[in-house]
Chains A and B, each alone.
Chain A
């Protein structure tokens, strides 16, 4: 008996140490690049890498003063926020419809949305480029915002449908028996119960839009450029400006990491279009 308890202890210890090491391996590349943002030019290129160094803010100073990084942050925020909002406005009624009604071609339409979501951005971006030029909308916030709807709306519909289906229909029905219209029943009962899922969907769509590269890169030049496309500015004739690049990466990723941790409860169902409940 003592032997088996000892064995259990050993397994427990082994499992915990392995888990800690493996998870540390996944954290390390991110932690290292955030740390690198605070390194001086000399420390960035040191070989072997320096683990203990005097932190400096010079890289952040460079991107704030010389590169006006806040301008690109602002663009990213405007584009991601408005696109997310518009997405929800059209996706919530659609998701509700898929969740609550039985009608002809329901699943075909739903899969139609899913298929469109699968279209790679890079394969359609040059067509969008010509459209933007024809409509004189190249390098505008509006065109990017609209383009993102093509991917965001199907994604939102599939995710929100899952959240809506999880709410018992009885609640709504009893409200309707009491004289509520369907719209009021939805507004007063179902929507508040969905608010968690709604917030999670909004944040995840925001993150996806914030991070998007191909469309933002090829459909803008100066006025509507977003954060992910600023990588091009660090590639100069004199080589790549690594320090400022790390600083921009740190600033550009911190908000989404914080956001993701806030909604981590919903993350699994979001990643799989609700196919696997988290």
Chain B
């Protein structure tokens, strides 16, 4: 009976699509519905919480305000986001590489260490933010170490040091991400090139620069790209630590969305930032995935 409509060959050809269909429907239906509302919200003026029929259509005014108004701090937030990315990604990658190289030596208890390094990655970020907020207080844990080392305490809650504080937390949380991935990458490398380099009398640095680094570059790039995409959307830790403040010191783009929507209660403008952030992330993903594929293809 069930062969009534389609012959065997057609059914076989459709099988791959049939198997994907449920996932496709769930994900794309949700995404399409969500995006439809998001774009719609970005084209109106409405106070947060007000019923939808109170909204007034304003066209692209929200975007115009965002990009060109002197009251908009979109570009400032974009700059803070860029600083946040640079301040976290580079140290995490460098530190992660160094620690991965170290753990790749003869180390007693390596599996215990890698297990410990998993912890910062899985601990609830909102709680991490709260806990570090206390650590960074004037009489907190961080200042205890700062004072023991340098004899003076720092005001981490002030506008100059709030962003560095948030960055330090991210470095604690996510350096292990690079350590674990790069260590796995190192251990998967073939041994012959290293032996050849050693026979040729290459120094430790030369081996790293001319053997390890080129062979590991696809892994490094994959990790860095994934991390970048994640840093661009971090909300929970920063919200719990400073809520974007003091002033606008830690208002990255995700925090700017929150502030416009929930604090200024301007849904239209908040949604316009959301759309911009999604566009930024998707275009970056598109470019970087292409780039990554080309690097892998060369190998």
Contact = CB atoms under 8 A, between A and B. Distances in A.
The residue among B16, B23, B273, B289 with the most chain A CB atoms within 10 A of its own CB is: B23
A120 B254 CA distance: 8
Interface string A40-63: 000001011100000000000000
Contacts of A227: 124
B261 to A, nearest CB: 5
B254 A123 contact: yes
Given A15-B102, A26-B175, A97 B281 contact: no
B274 interface: yes
A134 B55 CA distance: 15
Given A19-B113, A116-B31, A276-B185, A253 B124 contact: yes
A213 B175 contact: no
A23 B179 CA distance: 11
B181 to A, nearest CB: 6
B184 A32 contact: no
A268 B184 contact: yes
B270 to A, nearest CB: 6
Interface size class of A (residues with CB under 8 A): 35 or more
Given A30-B120, A246-B131, A128 B34 contact: yes
Nearest to B117: A26
Contact of B30 (A91, A97, A150): A150
Given A101-B15, A120-B232, A150-B30, A94 B132 contact: no
B27 A122 contact: no
Interface residues of B, number: 91
A167 interface: no
Interface in B18-38: 19-20, 22-24, 26-28, 30-31, 33-35, 37-38
Interface string A243-262: 00110110011001101110
A245 B132 CA distance: 12
A275 B34 CA distance: 29
A264 interface: yes
Contact of A277 (B113, B125, B184, B286): B184
B236 A228 contact: yes
A221 B194 CA distance: 58
A27 B132 CA distance: 14
Interface in A186-211: 207, 210-211
Contacts of A71: none
A75 interface: no
Contact of A26 (B102, B176, B184, B188): B176
Interface string B45-84: 0001000100000000000000000000000000000000
Contacts of B236: 213-214, 228
Nearest to A94: B23
B205 interface: no
A231 B34 contact: no
Nearest to B124: A211
B207 interface: no
A76 to B, nearest CB: 10
Interface in B109-142: 113-127, 129-135, 139, 141
Contacts of B257: 122-123, 126
B26 A90 contact: yes
Interface string B245-271: 000000000100110011000010011
Interface string A17-36: 01100110011011011000
Contacts of A163: none
B258 A275 contact: no
B108 A16 contact: yes
Given A123-B274, A276-B184, A15 B144 contact: no
Contact of A268 (B102, B119, B180, B270): B180
B258 A124 contact: no
Contacts of B261: 126
A210 B122 CA distance: 10
Nearest to B226: A272
Given A103-B16, A278-B184, A122 B233 contact: yes
A119 B177 contact: no
A49 B38 CA distance: 47
Given A120-B254, A272-B226, A131 B122 contact: no
Given A122-B235, A126-B38, A211-B126, 6 more contacts: A19-B99, A131-B37, A147-B30, A213-B235, A214-B235, A228-B124
Which 9 pairs between the two chains have the least Cβ-Cβ distance? A120-B233, A123-B274, A97-B19, A213-B236, A101-B16, A127-B37, A249-B127, A94-B23, A127-B38
Interface of B: 15-17, 19-20, 22-24, 26-28, 30-31, 33-35, 37-38, 41, 48, 52, 99, 102-103, 105-108, 113-127, 129-135, 139, 141, 144, 172, 175-177, 180-181, 184-185, 188, 219, 222-223, 226, 229, 232-233, 235-236, 239-240, 254, 257-258, 261-262, 267, 270-271, 273-275, 277-278, 281-282, 285-286, 289
6 contacts: A23-B113, A120-B232, A127-B37, A147-B30, A253-B127, A260-B122
